[in-house]
Amino acid sequence: MLTSLFTGVTGLNANMTALSVIGNNIANMNTVGYKAGRASFADILSQSIVGVSGSNQVGLGVSLSSITSLFTQGALETTTSGLDLAIDGNGFYVLTDSTGALYYSRAGQFNLDKDGNIVNPEGYILRGYQADSAGNITSTIDDLTLSSSSVQPNPTSTVDIVGNLSSDAEIKGFVFTTGSNDAIRFTSGATTATASLTTNGGLISGNAYSGDGVASAIKAALEAQNGSLDTYTVTYDSLTGKFAIANDTGNSNALSIAWSSSALTTAEGMLGFTADDAIVVGSNAASDAAGGAFSVGNADDTSNFSTSITAYDSLGNSHQVTVYFRKDSTSSSGNTWEWYGVVGANDSTSGSTEVQANGALIFDTDGFLSSESSITYPTGGLDFSGGASQNQTIAFGFGTSIAEGGAGTNGMTQYGGSSTVNDQQQDGYGAGSFQSMSVDSNGVITGIFSNGKTMSMGQVVLAKFANPSALTSKGRNLFAESSDSGQPLAGVPNSAGRGGIHSNALELSTVDIAEEFVKMISAQRGFQANSKIITTTDEILNELVNLKR
C-alpha cells in the first residue's frame, strides 16, 4: 500500500519537472536561436508479485528520462544589420571566450568590438577563416577580426576601350607652322620623290587646318619666300592622306608627302619627316632648297572622336586621361586611325598638356580591327603630377586584333554610323576606408570600401555534431561539446550537410506557444491525478488505522 504513495510522488516530481521545462520554453519564446526543450519520461519497473499468473511485475512510478533540446529549424526574421546572421539548416557558430574555451550557438546576433572582432552580445568571438591583406581567405580557423581599415591604392596599369569609330569619318586637319629651317635636296629630272610624314605625338603650336587648308598654306609660304617667279601647286588627297608639292617653274617633278605612321622612306636619299620636321622646296631643283620652311603637325583639337577616363597613380590620386582618335588615312585594304593618350596641364608633371601615349589602329574593309601598332610613350611613360611614381606604363587595349588571333570585334570596330564608346574599364583605384560589409550564403565576409572596391575579409565556419541533442547547455544561447554529442566537425557553410547563412536575418525561437499550452494542461492534469493517488492512498491508510478502534 505504501508503494502507491511513493508512486504518486514520482508522478508529482515528473510532472513538476515537465512544467519547469514548459515554463522555460515559454519564457524563451522570443529568444533568438533558442531551441525548445522536451522532457521525456520512463516508467519505473522493479517489483514482482509472486503467485500471479501472467505478468507478475508492477510499476513503481515514473522517472524523468531526459530533457533534450529539439534542433528543428526556426523561422527567419529580417533585420537591418549585416552582422545579423541566421543559419538555414544544420550547424552551429563556433565561438571562443577570453580563456580560449570553445562554445557553439545558433544565435547569430553579432557586432564589432573596439578591436574589430566579430562578437556576440556576451563578447564571445566568432571564429572562421581569416583573410590576408590581399583578400585571400586562409585555411586556418581563427578568431574573425576585421582589422583592415583601408584598401591600399592600386595604380592604373590597363585601360580597355570598347566602341566604334565611324567609317564615314573624314581625315582630320593638321597644325601648320612656318619658320622652321630644315631643307630638302632633290634633283631635277628625278622621279617623283615620295616621303612619309609621321606624327611623333608632339603638340605643336599653331592653327588647325583641314588638308586643303594646309596645302594652301604650304603654297603661300613657299611662294612668299622664294619670290613671285616661283609658283607651286600643292594638293591634298583626302583618300590617301598625301600632300603633293610641285614647283611649276622649270620643275615638273612633285614631292609627295604622305601623312602616315609608316617608317621613314627614301626619296633621292634618306628623307625623314616627322610632325615637327620642316619641309622646303626651292626654286632650283638642282640645289639646296632655300627658305620657305614650314612644318606640319597633328592637331590635338581636330580629332574625330575622343573619350576621357579616370586613371590612378601610385599614390591613389585620380587623373583625367583623354584618348583622342583621328582618322589618318584610307586605302583599298581598310582605314588607319591614330589614337593619342593626352594628359592635361593640371595633371602632368611638366605643367603642359602632353601626349603621353599613342599608337595606331588598322581596320579592314569589314570594319574589324585588323592590327594595331605597339604603344609609344613620348615622355617615357605617363607622368602624373602629385608626387607619385613617374613613367607609369598603362597598356591601352582596344580588343584582340585579327593579327593577334582574335576576331577583331571584341573591342574597337569601324562600322558605319556614329563613333561611340560602349564600355571602358581601367584597373586602378584610390585608397578606400572601410564602410560596411556583407555576408553571403557561404559565410564569406566582404568588406565594402569608400572607393567602391570590395574585398574578402574572412569566412564564417559552421560546426556540426553527430548528436546535437546531447550538447551541454551553458546558458546564454551557448552549448558545449559532450561525450555523447560527438566531436565538432567545422567547415564552410553549404558543405558536407552544413546549412547556409542568411545575412540581415535572425533565426527565431522554435517554441510553439499553442503546443506549450497543451503540454502545460497535460502536465497540470498529470500533477492533479498523481496528487489524487496520494490523497486516496492516505484515505485508505486512514481507514486501516480506524479498523483498530
Arithmetic mean of pLDDT, 178-195? 36
3-class DSSP assignment, residue 220: helix
Mean pLDDT of 176-199: 36
pLDDT score at 8:
87
Q: Which of 39-43, 204-208, 269-273, 470-474 shows the lowest mean pLDDT across its residues?
A: 269-273
Q: What is the CATH number of domain 158-168+303-426?
A: 2.60.98.20
Higher local confidence (pLDDT), 183 or 406: 406
SS3 360: strand
pLDDT band at residue 226, thresholds of 50, 70 and 90? low
pTM comes to 0.63
For 129, the 3-state DSSP assignment is: strand
Confidence at residue 312, expressed as pLDDT on a 0 to 100 scale: 97
Query: pLDDT per residue over 315-346, tens digit each?
Result: 999 999 999 998 877 777 778 998 999 999 99
520: left (phi over 0), alpha (psi -120 to 50) or beta: alpha
Confidence at 222, pLDDT banded by 50, 70, 90: low
Instruction: Return the H-helix or E-strand segment holding 329.
Output: strand 318-331
Give the model's confidence band at 541: pLDDT under 50 very low, under 70 low, under 90 confident, else very high.
confident
Separation CA 107–CA 87 (nearest Å): 9
- Spatial distance between the Cα atoms of 16 and 223, rounded to a whole number of angstroms: 121
Domain ranges of the chain: 2-72+510-546, 76-152+433-507, 158-168+303-426, 174-298
CA gap 425, 432 in Å, rounded: 19
Is residue 442 a contact partner of residue 427, using CB atoms and an 8 Å limit?
Answer: no
Question: What pLDDT is attached to residue 259?
Answer: 41
Burial class (CB in 10 A: 0-12, 13-18, 19+), 174: buried
pLDDT score at 179: 40
| Section 299-318 average pLDDT | 85
pLDDT of residue 356: 93
What are the backbone dihedrals phi and psi of residue 468, each rounded to the nearest 5 degrees, phi first? -65, -25
Per-residue pLDDT of 251-280, as tens digits, reads 444 444 444 333 222 222 222 233 333 343
Confidence of residue 59 (pLDDT cuts 50, 70, 90): confident
Task: Give 435-468 pLDDT, tens digit per residue.
Answer: 888 999 999 999 999 988 899 999 999 999 999 9
Angstrom CA distances, 447 to 130, 427, 434, stand at: 13, 19, 7
CB distance 28 to 476 below 8 Å: no
Residues contacting 371, CB < 8 A, separation 6+: 362, 401, 402, 403, 404
pLDDT digits (tens, 9 = 90+) for 361-409: 999 999 999 999 999 999 999 999 999 999 999 999 999 999 999 999 9
Identify the DSSP state of 467.
-
d(CA 325, CA 370): 16
Q: What is the pLDDT of residue 353?
A: 87
Q: What is the pLDDT of residue 298?
A: 47
Cα–Cα nearest to 419, from 162, 174, 160: 162
Q: Provide the percentage of residues in the chain whose pLDDT is more than 90.
A: 58
Calpha distance 299→207 (Å, rounded): 8
Q: In the predicted model, is pLDDT for residue 305 greater than 70?
A: yes
CA 26 to chain centre: 46
pLDDT digits (tens, 9 = 90+) for 69-118: 999 999 999 999 999 999 999 999 999 999 999 999 999 999 999 999 99
Length of the chain: 549
